[in-house]
A = this chain, B = another copy of it.
């Protein structure tokens, strides 16, 4: 890697779009993960042509380039582990076209998810793959991680909504991939391959996305279980009965207790809660889904069902889940909520088994872990609550994470449901996909022969996330 010549970068994007003072480098050295590593410089292109020129420049000089949205990723995807240029894509933030006649839109990668949905709303449509971070998450970041969110059980992930991409390759060439048609069978679907590639294959400069009608009716409810196994059986019962909920969420005892303590929500003191939702254009169809869901829950010990078709009442019912994320940070004095083993996917019949696994492993290692997630899609989330000042807590967390993923793989699950791999989950990912790593590396070389795009991630990430980069926490003991 050559020394980065700031002047040349300024010549491409203008001086105001190149920053390398200490405070900026620090801010762009981390995301929502536990990692940090300083970039050499931050560059913020305004146009596709500038992206092309920047990549040509970097490729000639073998300088790492890390495309970045809002940095809400939880696994270190945009932490510049090998230094180089952080490519801040947020200035490419235009909604290029909303084509109602053909039910698709074209957007630049810096568009914020909520902004896109605000723009679609007057037309009666929405873009479904919406993560909890939709207030800040960019469409580009969502594409990089194949994001999905709470309604993935009905509406799928980014991969299911994507029609086409305009990308810049490592050598600066700009390619239009895919089409704006609803179906396509024109050879290799490179556009879909880039979804989930975490910025390692190409830089997205535009995406064509399907949207779907906003349902006229929504019913949201909550149901309690005294045993988490019963909740697990209810999940499988609901999904296997041909029911099509638009949301099905699990919260375990720790999650319930966290929101009650921190936010005073007053959730019932039970072992598990399911939150369910159905939506549709016709009230009777929503009634049908809700009735089937209730029956599935009741059959397996679910009780105390509350539900509503009213937005305000729904917000009240959902308050505990909505406040879970901040509440976990306040669960116990001295414990921080860290994103490690933050998500995984299992066949949905294994949600309860996965929750048990998480609790058992955490107990054995002297850390606190909560189990919650979009259980209708088999998506399990956890946080590790630990004293981040203590070395032995990090060692315990590392062992717990490894054990959990080993068991998840053994039950037919996969390392990430929707948060991606980055650095933190790479060791588990590399074990899961061991036989395919060579092929992944060969494909990466086909896209990016000089390995400049987000190097050192996914199959090329280090084997130990604790020592791979500096931690964002001061470990004092």
Residues of A within 8 A of B (CB): 99-104, 124-125, 145-148, 152-153, 156-157, 159-160, 169, 173-190, 192-193, 195-198, 201, 212-214, 236, 239-240, 242, 244, 280-285, 287-289, 345-349, 374, 376-379, 412-421, 429, 432-433, 435-436, 439-440, 442-443, 445-447, 458-459
CB atoms of B169 and A439 under 8 A apart: yes
Given that A100-B240, A124-B242, A446-B442 are known contacts, is A185 also in contact with B435, CB under 8 Å in the complex? no
- In the bound assembly, the distance between CA atoms of A219 and B193 in angstroms comes to 37
Given that A180-B412, A413-B179, A414-B181 are known contacts, is A349 also in contact with B102, CB under 8 Å in the complex? yes
- In the bound assembly, the distance between CA atoms of A190 and B196 in angstroms comes to 11
Given that A103-B240, A446-B446 are known contacts, is A181 also in contact with B284, CB under 8 Å in the complex? no
Question: Could you say which residues of chain B place their CB within 8 Å of the CB of A432?
Answer: 186
Smallest distance from the beta carbon of A287 to chain B beta carbons, Å? 8
- In the bound assembly, the distance between CA atoms of A193 and B197 in angstroms comes to 12
Residue from B148, B282, B412, B421 in contact with A179 in the complex, judged by beta carbons closer than 8 Å: B412
Question: Could you say which residues of chain B place their CB within 8 Å of the CB of A458?
Answer: 187-188
Residue from B100, B125, B160, B181 in contact with A417 in the complex, judged by beta carbons closer than 8 Å: B181
CB atoms of A436 and B175 under 8 A apart: yes
CB atoms of A185 and B418 under 8 A apart: yes
Stoichiometry, copies per complex: 2
Question: Could you say which residues of chain B place their CB within 8 Å of the CB of A103?
Answer: 239-240, 348
Smallest distance from the beta carbon of A420 to chain B beta carbons, Å? 5
Smallest distance from the beta carbon of A326 to chain B beta carbons, Å? 24
Residue from B169, B240, B416, B435 in contact with A175 in the complex, judged by beta carbons closer than 8 Å: B435
- In the bound assembly, the distance between CA atoms of A349 and B442 in angstroms comes to 40
- In the bound assembly, the distance between CA atoms of A414 and B181 in angstroms comes to 7
CB atoms of B193 and A101 under 8 A apart: no
Of A153, A212, A348, A436, most B-chain CB atoms within 10 Å: A436
CB atoms of B349 and A459 under 8 A apart: no
Question: Could you say which residues of chain B place their CB within 8 Å of the CB of A195?
Answer: 189
Given that A187-B197, A345-B182 are known contacts, is A436 also in contact with B177, CB under 8 Å in the complex? yes
Given that A102-B348, A213-B244, A417-B185 are known contacts, is A439 also in contact with B433, CB under 8 Å in the complex? no
CB atoms of A379 and B153 under 8 A apart: no
CB atoms of B185 and A433 under 8 A apart: no
CB atoms of B349 and A184 under 8 A apart: no
Smallest distance from the beta carbon of A73 to chain B beta carbons, Å? 11
Question: Could you say which residues of chain B place their CB within 8 Å of the CB of A376?
Answer: 182
Smallest distance from the beta carbon of A62 to chain B beta carbons, Å? 19
Question: Could you say which residues of chain B place their CB within 8 Å of the CB of A193?
Answer: 188-190, 192-193
CB atoms of B184 and A414 under 8 A apart: yes
Smallest distance from the beta carbon of A266 to chain B beta carbons, Å? 31
CB atoms of A236 and B101 under 8 A apart: yes
Nearest residue (CB) in B for A164 is B414
Question: Could you say which residues of chain B place their CB within 8 Å of the CB of A101?
Answer: 236, 240, 347, 349
- In the bound assembly, the distance between CA atoms of A184 and B447 in angstroms comes to 22
CB atoms of A186 and B147 under 8 A apart: no
- In the bound assembly, the distance between CA atoms of A378 and B183 in angstroms comes to 7
Smallest distance from the beta carbon of A152 to chain B beta carbons, Å? 5
